[in-house]
Amino acid sequence: MKLLFLLFLVPVLLWGNDPVPMFLYNPSHNSRTSIELYKEIEEVNRPINVDSDVDYVSVADNGILYFLSRSKMYCANRRAEILWSKSIGNYGINNNPLILENGNVVFATWGDIFCFTNNGDSVWRFSYAGECHSGITLNLNNRLVFGAAMGSSPRYLYCLNASTGQEIWKYLASNEILSTPATDEVGNIIFGTLDGYTYKLTPQGTLSWRVNIGGLLWSSPLIEVGTGNIYEGSDSGRMTALDKDGNIRWRYSTGDLVRAHPNFNFDKTGVIFGSRDGYFRCVDKDTGELKWSYYTGGLIEGGSVIEANGDIFFTDFNGYLHRLDKDGNKKSSYKISSTVSITVPAVDSNQYMYLGARSGTLIIFRFYDPTDISSYKISVPEYKTTSITPNPLRDKGRLKFNSKTTGNGNLYFYDLKGRKRVTNSFTVNKKGDNTIFFKTKLTEGIYFWEATVNNEKIGSGKITVIY
């Protein structure tokens, strides 16, 4: 992973390549990836055995996924195979788990913040009054910040030590905090409350200023690195721009609530965001004047992500994944097979995008270039000690491999679009050299295969099937 000192310099660069370790990608909430996604897209709908809806998904730099249900924390791979899960007892809150630099994962439930290792071992637990509907943000000096909400419970913004879970300070706000805190490059913290106030706190938890921008604040603030300018939507139907001292620079009015989280466009001259009026807009970050708009026909409450060439991805309540170019022109609108949660698309380095969905489903999109066969292949290392013979393959073959452990194995076959076609399961009874005989019913064609033992990759390759 990238060294933690990068966060001290320019927060937007932390995890800037591929992973999605926190809500809105990074501390300043500039949701973008350095990956250029291919033109073609295919949905791989992965049912998973969870007890409720799946909301936000976080992605580690090794492609491992973390997400919450209403009573469990899950760790899975991109095939939606559960690697481990932990019962959390209390009601799970629908926000992103936070992946720390050491690989530990932090997440919120009703009244508790938990920290686990990436193997599922408990590290610490912090109890508080209320619920954490905001995401948890990593600030400077290994500190976590999050807000609490729930009726008559105290509405505190908490700051914890990320290593120990100990409380460093807490700040009592005027109302519930559903807005995920953002932090600037020196550690100042910006967040909103349900009575319309935007707050700026110092890294020590003292108030710098607060200003009422009007309307309930569900949208999380976006901070411009360098200037400290702040952009935040509200239930007043407006996107509001503040300077670093809390002075209102401009307001842009839409036709409905603005709960979607703002982002910067490709060249960072505009602020892009959705509204419940069905429009996705780009307004000039300095003047607030409209640069362009795109009408979806569906309510928009989630955030967006920008890929390397400026394409914008977001979802609407009609169940579409929209792809616009950097100037707001439609490139595609993909009808998703399941009802999508209010979410922010998460992108990894292997051309996969993840969305939470209702009814225990993880939506996975695979991007590929139909003119380039290399874009289809599964990005796994080569293993000289693992092979499938014969090649070409007919209806049966043998897998030779060397295993460091005993346990359960799987041999997967994928077509050229990355779709899993056949799974052969087997048992490894001894360490060292093994040979497994298998049968397959694949049609003629070219396939990629991947072998695992106890969910660890032991081999991969390409094979031709003929009859």
Domain with residue 428: its CATH number is 2.60.40.3080
pLDDT per position as a tens digit, 243-263? 999 999 999 999 999 999 999
Opening angle at CA 61, ends 93 and 139, nearest 5: 55
pLDDT(341) > 80: no
125 and 51 part of one domain: yes
Q: What is the pTM of this model?
A: 0.77
Q: Identify the pLDDT of residue 72.
A: 83
pLDDT per position as a tens digit, 39-67? 888 777 666 767 777 777 888 877 788 98
Domain residues for the domain of 143 are: 5-368
Q: How confident is the model at residue 186 (pLDDT cuts 50, 70, 90)?
A: very high
Q: Identify the pLDDT of residue 131.
A: 80
422 and 315 part of one domain: no
**CATH classification of the domain holding 152:** 2.130.10.10
121 and 92 part of one domain: yes
Q: Render 404-440 in DSSP notation, one character per residue.
A: SS-EEEEEEEE-TTS-EEEEEEEEE-SSEEEEEEEE-
Supply the mean pLDDT for the chain: 85
Q: Identify the pLDDT of residue 152.
A: 59
Domain end marker among 368, 385, 401: 368
313 and 387 part of one domain: no
- Rounded Cα distance between 201 and 190, Å, is 7
207 and 299 part of one domain: yes
Q: How confident is the model at residue 372 (pLDDT cuts 50, 70, 90)?
A: low
283 and 321 part of one domain: yes
| In contact, 31 and 263? CB cutoff 8 Å | yes
134 and 219 part of one domain: yes
pLDDT per position as a tens digit, 4-30? 323 333 333 333 345 677 778 888 778
21 and 65 part of one domain: yes
166 and 201 part of one domain: yes
Lowest mean pLDDT among 93-102, 115-124, 164-173, 284-293: 93-102
| In contact, 36 and 309? CB cutoff 8 Å | yes
Q: In total, how many domains does the chain have? A: 2
Contacts of 443 (CB under 8 A, 6+ apart): 465
347 and 390 part of one domain: no
Q: Render 279-339 in DSSP notation, one character per residue.
A: EEEEEETTT--EEEEEE-SS---S--EE-TTS-EEEE-TTSEEEEE-TTS-EEEEEEPSSP
Specify which residues 321 forms β-bridges with: 315, 334
332 and 408 part of one domain: no
- Rounded Cα distance between 157 and 170, Å, is 5
Lowest mean pLDDT among 1-10, 180-189, 300-309: 1-10
Report percent pLDDT > 90 for the chain: 49
